[in-house]
Amino acid sequence: MLEEVIFRGVLIGKLARRTPTWVALIVSSALFGALHLRSIAEWPLLLNYGLVGLLLGALYLLSQRNILVPISVHVAWNTMGFVSS
């Protein structure tokens, strides 16, 4: 939940006041992706994690900035990963 509040609620919110919304979405997604890398050896996964951030950010914006939408999807995503491993 904290990741969603930070990356969607705070970061997109603050950046979108100063830049076009699409720029805020891209920056937030890239930072989200970078945060999920556990080591420099995982850099090829940056695109995957960034795309997940892009999806969550787009859901946030399309839901008229309802933070519960990306939180719900993120929880479901993490739960599926946990259950499948």
Look up the pTM and report it: 0.91
Digit-by-digit pLDDT tens for the chain (85 residues) are 899 999 999 999 999 999 999 999 999 999 999 999 999 899 999 999 999 999 999 999 999 999 999 999 999 999 998 898 7
Euclidean distance between CA atoms 70 and 54, whole angstroms: 11
Q: Give the start-to-end residue ranges of the domains of the chain.
A: 2-84
Question: Are 21 and 50 spatial neighbours (Cβ–Cβ below 8 Å)?
Answer: no
